[in-house]
Amino acid sequence: MNPLASIGRASLGMSRTTGRLALFAWRCILAMIRPPWFFGQIWRQILSIGFYSLPVVGLTAVFTGAALALNIYTGGARFNAESFVPNIVGIGITRELGPVLASLMLAGRVSAAIAAEIGAMKVTEQIDAMRTLSTDPFRYLFAPRLIAALIVVPLLVLIADIIGVFGGFAVATQSLGFNGALYVRNTMDFITSWDVGSGLIKAAVFGFIIALMGCYHGYVSGRGAQGVGRATTNAVVSAAILIFASNYLLTSLFV
């Protein structure tokens, strides 16, 4: 009896969380599309999510591109296909690794920061205070973060694409003996606008997930330092899992 009860409790808990998250997301979307918009807050979030994430995204991309070039060269050498390094680095970065790895890094940096900030605001009654001041936290706190993430994450991924391809280029030309001009031409000839575009669509979805998980887990965080700490962890873990799951769904739609 007990195992069944545990399964039942877990199922009910999961259904409850899914329902709460869906309602929360719906209220966020309504707040995003209906005025008033707090442009000052949106701009502040664009800086916080976008500008200050450039170093971490850039470093992730350059090392991923470089490692990818080395791996493809090693693998390609087994059947004399070393010349495909620029093509596969290009498509691998733009369609898959650029959006996924940049978004995972952003999940760690941005989801955690949003969850901690909103969680601390909840614990110290700042969100209640906002309501008593006739201001909807969905419009003032959550919508600006979601709008900013939707705008900024695709831009960051575009930058990650360029830097990632450059990482592959640097290793290929400096260590693997590729001709620079040929490498660039092969890359440009092979990558299509859909390769880049599909990656940017993924990035927009991942951006929404990153901000939504941060806001949601902060908003439902428990009391005290432990509650905020747990909210931060939950935000990062759930954002990462949803990024992987939605990446598979989107990839299966795009291929």
Partner 1 sequence: MSSDPKISIVGLHKSFGSNQVLQGVDLDIAAGKSLVVIGGSGTGKSVLLKCILGLMAPDQGSIRIDGEETTRLSQKDRARVAGKFGMLFQGSALFDSLSIWENVAFRLIHADHIPRDKAKEMALQAMARVNLAERNADLSPAELSGGMQKRVGLARAIVTRPQILFFDEPTTGLDPITADVINRLIREQVTDLGATAISITHDMESARHIADEIAMIFQGKIIWRGPAKDIDNSGNPYVEQFVTASADGPIDVMGG
Binding positions for partner 1, rule: CB under 8 A: 38, 120-121, 124-126, 128-136, 140
Nearer to partner 1 among residue 37 and residue 63 (C-beta): 37
Q: How far is the CB of 121 from partner 1 (least distance, A)?
A: 8
Q: How far is the CB of 231 from partner 1 (least distance, A)?
A: 17
Cβ neighbours around 207 below 10 Å, total = 29
Rounded to whole angstroms, the Cα distance separating 4 from 140 reads: 43
Cβ neighbours around 240 below 10 Å, total = 18
Contact 208, 147 (CB under 8 A): no
Nearer to partner 1 among residue 12 and residue 77 (C-beta): 12
**Matching residue, tokens 């739609």:** 253
Rounded to whole angstroms, the Cα distance separating 68 from 189 reads: 19
Q: How far is the CB of 47 from partner 1 (least distance, A)?
A: 13
Contact 182, 81 (CB under 8 A): no
Nearer to partner 1 among residue 41 and residue 246 (C-beta): 41
Q: How far is the CB of 129 from partner 1 (least distance, A)?
A: 4
Nearer to partner 1 among residue 3 and residue 40 (C-beta): 40
